[in-house]
Structure 1
Amino acid sequence: MALPRPHRFDVYIAVGGLLGGLLLVGIGLSTRPADDPVTLFDGPWPVLVPLTVLSGCELLRRAAPRTALLTGTLAVCADVVTQGNLSTVLMFTDVVYAAVLYGPLASARRIQWITGLLTVAGTLVPFAVWRVPEALLIGVVVGVVAYAPASTGWIVRNHRDAAEAARLRAEQTALLAEMDRAQAVTAERARMARELHDMVANHLSAIAIHSTAALSIDDPATSREALSVIRENSVDGLAEMRRLIGILRDGDDEPAAVPTLDGLAALVEGARANGLDVTLDASHDGTVPAPVELAAYRIVQESLTNALKHACPGPVTVSLAERNGALTVEVSSPYGDRDGPRAPGSGAGLVGMRERAALLGGTFDAGPEGPGGARWTVRATLPLREGVPE
């Protein structure tokens, strides 16, 4: 398998080490004299072999650090039996450093242990054999050449890994923050869509139905009555739109006057004015939390809007009751084919009511009930406190 291309910085180190070694050979500077007992090959030329090999190992210091270390170890051992070259030793220390820094984690740990044991052995064994203080210098040399660069590489590797972990944590934190922001924006858009739909759908539905009746019935009195209802709903719808625009402009979470259950009577009266036969049966002890009040009000409002648009002639009942720590909202209207004018629907109202109940941890269902499915019933259960079982 072909090795990856050497890093540019590694090429600079290899070339610099080779040229430095050649300069030392040219000026006759070596680490040992020719008559040293350890020197088996005297003269300047044998020094070039380990020097060239270590220079080649520098090219592999990042691409193949373990191969570079094994080959470099053999080369530095060969350098010991020559007159020696300082550049060869320096390049070997860099290869040890790179093997710990760039090699696998297991290899880095082994190199730490091996170089440490060699340093201890290089200190104790020569002193035990020769019994002279100068023998301790062998361990110092081994420590400087092997253990010191390995320890430096380990320290740098730990700092680099810590910096990388911090960077990844920062990226993860930024990603989570962006996800939270996107979810918050989506939730806010859904909330405003529900508010917009619930506030104006009732008025627009009444306008659509009565305008259709005014156009289809050639009766001045009926047309005048329909136009009066249209005007009233137009004014109310415009007021609701202005209020919503004010909320969006000012950035408030909720309008100053949040709809409450006390406003259900006026809501039902408005539905009666639009032509629905509505009765209200509401019983609660007055301790309903504001979010639950708002959700219940909007669910009743949207249910009456749907009854105005789709229900057959007949009684519409609205009932609210507290049962088992929850507020139950139920709206029932006649269901079947309708002969009169019908306003179009998109299904967004049912989605909004289901979302309102789900946000409070409650339940919602809507559909035909009774004999032959003659009644359309909307039923929502809204917990009055957290942890209330559904």
Structure 2
Amino acid sequence: MTAGEKTTARKKVPAWAVDTALVALAAFDVWWNLEDSADASVLVLVAGALASGALFLRRRLPLTTFALTLPACLVLDLQVVSAVALYTLAERSRDRRLLAACAIASAAASSVPWPRSDVAQVHETWVLVYFGYLLAVAAAPVLLGQLVQAHRDLSVRLDEIEEAREHERQLHAEAVVARERAQLAREMHDVVAHQVSLIAVRAGALQVVAPDSDTQEAARTIRSLSVGTLDELRHMVTLLRASTDAGTELTPQPTLADLRRLVADSAIQATLTGELPADITTTAQRTVYRTVQEALTNVRKHAPGATAAVQLFHHEHEFGVMVTNTKATRPPLPLPGSHQGLIGLTERAELLHGSFTAGPLSDGGYRVRLEIPTDAEAPFTRGTEPNRPDRE
């Protein structure tokens, strides 16, 4: 059962039903103490009713709820309201100094004799002993609340780790397919295309020296088919090499139009500003998209809780994108990183005669910047092979 399923199972009991039951139990505790109290004044009744009713606010205002229970704990020997208020505050607050102060305040309010005229009749040593006992009792709901909070945080972290690992597995599968396609493209270019080129050359030579018209026509047909096949092979090699920059599915390649959806579905708090020229090549669009995708993935993996800003820009001689994130608010996930993503982005930028930089900021954040010249043209569009190392 996943953390989400466990949370759903816990929420089968409505929150209002739980709060109503706790208020009823707290009211019974107040009534029980009023039966044993010789001084059931209007002030005591109001304090008890206020403390019981305040439990309805415990989910939204836990600190206020605790403060409203203190007067009742001062005049009555209550157990339910103080325990519930401390547990709720500990389950929702991460300030341990505040929790310690509230536990001490609760123990002090319950250990001080009431009415004040009874203070002189109680020995100071007994008051201190009683305070220590109540402080230990108050620590129990605080520790329980912190334990529940840690369990909830752990469930969220496990979900994040599983999501990140699934993403890593998907990237690995895509990398394997990309290597296979690159290998296939090399074989087609180096072997098949070379052989077809030789066939076309030999057919052309035969067409020139053929003794009869039938042989010349056959040679011409062979040469024509060979040239057509060679063009198709070159086109297929281009597509295979271009597909190594994409996913494993036969889906349309991402463009600038897909950026907004990418940012919205990034599972982090991210914004997209600026714009790029509409006439940039599809390779440049894909490079910008992959840069943003890799940057947001790294933010999700290495800076949990951080916010990101994706800024598109273009000037007279260059255009590009800059992704900046704040520092992490939680410890990063314990996942390995090979830095191959940043290496791949650097290679993409070099293919377009651009530059790619990435590095930490002084405030603990991180910045990724891609710059591409406005007159950049992908090697594929020039009909030449890309001068880049194969990434095995």
Q: Please state which band the TM-score falls in when normalised by the shorter chain.
A: 0.3 to 0.5
TM-score normalised by L of structure 2: 0.44
